[in-house]
Amino acid sequence: MSTDTPTSNRWYLSTAPVLRALVHLCIPMAAAMIVSAVYNVVNAGFIGSLHDSALLAAVTLGAPVLALVMAVGGVFGVGGGALVSRLLGAAEHDPASAQQIKHVSSFAVWGAVLTGAVVGGLGLLLLDPLVTLLGADATAAPATRAFVGVMLAFVPVLTAAFCLEQLVRAEGAARQVMTGLILSTLLNVVLDVLFILVLDLGVGGAALATGLSNLGLVGYLGLWLHRNSEHTSLAPRWFTLSPAVLRPVFGVGVSELFQASFLVVTALVLNNLASAYGDDALAAMGVAVRIAQVPEFLVMGVTLGVLPLFAYAYGKGDRERLRSAVRVSALTVGGLVLVAATVALLLREQLVSVFTADRAVLAIGVTVLTAQVVAMIVNGFTGLLTSLFQATGRAVPAIVMSTSQGVLFIPVVLLGNLWFGLPGIIWSLTVSEGMVLVLGVVLWVAYRRSIDRGLAEGSEERAEAALEQAEA
């Protein structure tokens, strides 16, 4: 059994009261994500101060590239992090399980870096066609090219940063991740002031600031793991291509790639359809999405923060702890979305007007913000189900959940545009999110028995029975 002392990171995963564990894991995660969301709003304010809608449109058009970069990091980070947490849980009954963690962590980090280098290099070689594909018109193309080009140069850094976040969080060290993300965000703001306002580098400066601040985050998280983690190693000598590592990492991680890939397709379709309504529509979407990210990231702090707890309890075979964690986190998500949605809807006009005085942009922005907030209510529970599937290593439902949003969104947005014009485009995401939640509930019912069988295989009783059989 675990000998971890109370208040240690491992103790929160293993035996701490569930509510206390959720506070430890989710509040730092939510705080860090809110700081990141606030930064995105501030960043939009920096760019908006230049009084050029094409610059705001460029950042909106470049968002799919950033989503794809996060997907590459997610393949290795989410897949590797979930496996690390399960191995830590299994190690309570089978200490040999912990020996695999060095291989998993090294493979995850270096896999993210190498894959990121390939993706970034290909993107730079195909930069001009990529900018056209993103939906940039003649006005927004130069700024979009500058923003995307700098982002692509930093892809290996961005993927490594995202992967390291998941590995540190997998050990229950949510506060350390929060500290790193907040420091990185503060550095990003300072660099924004320097590159955008002082050196007048525009959106290219914004991208450069993001890349350099993430480089600092990589250094911070890597150093913390080196000094504090008993089992994790980033040394290349532990890198492996063993199926015992690749299969579970990619089995879960590929769901992140599919999700982001479909989100990229979704954003491309959305941008190209919305661009027909002018830069005002794109600018309004960019501002409204950034505002909506504040409550969205608060909810994501719970749905993502609880994943290590799910995975640890599953690996340990602790049925009651897993059920309790799911129940308490669902109640938490429900309370958060209701409060956040109420506040955002009551203040939507005031929030959008902070970033633009253009009446046309304001009117569209208010509608987009309303649709985004309603979608957030549904998406909170969708994210919780996805985290449960990923934590328990259920690759098929995790992949289905990750891909269904894009698969369902495309026909919904095309029909919405055809039947209702711009409002149909704006509300299409909300409709498709509702459909995904229904699908997620169906999958949860279908896979409950499979998850129960996995819990039994990882239980202490099963481990002790196997030991007794081996000794006999």
Interval 207-235: pLDDT, tens: 888 889 889 999 999 998 888 877 787 88
Residue corresponding to tokens 């675990």: 2
At residue 5, the pLDDT reads 58
Residue 253, pLDDT > 60, answer: yes
Residue corresponding to tokens 């509608």: 367
In tens, the pLDDT along 110-154 reads 999 999 899 889 888 888 888 777 766 666 677 778 888 888 888
Q: For residues 93 and 460, is the Cβ–Cβ distance under 8 A?
A: yes
Average pLDDT over residues 297-313: 84
> 182: buried, middle or exposed (CB in 10 Å: 19+, 13-18, 0-12)?
middle
Question: 461: which DSSP letter?
Answer: H
Average pLDDT over residues 55-66: 71
Question: 277: which DSSP letter?
Answer: T
Average pLDDT over residues 432-456: 86
Average pLDDT over residues 435-440: 90
Determine the 3-state secondary structure of 8 from DSSP.
Answer: coil
Q: How many CB atoms lie within 10 A of CB 276?
A: 13
In tens, the pLDDT along 103-121 reads 888 899 899 999 989 988 9
Q: How many CB atoms lie within 10 A of CB 1?
A: 9
CA distance 128 to 125: 8
Rounded to the nearest integer, the mean pLDDT of the chain is 78
Q: What is the pTM of this model?
A: 0.75
Of 118 and 41, more confident: 118
Structure tokens at 457: 């295989």
278-293 exposure pattern, b = at least 16 Cβ within 10 A, e = fewer? bbbbbbbbbbbbbbbb
Of 3 and 80, more confident: 80
Question: 195: which DSSP letter?
Answer: I
Q: Which long-range contacts (CB under 8 A, 24 or more apart) does 215-220 make?
A: 215/154, 215/157, 215/161, 216/183, 216/184, 216/187, 217/161, 217/164, 217/165, 217/180, 217/181, 217/183, 217/184, 218/157, 218/160, 218/161, 218/164, 220/179, 220/180, 220/183, 220/184
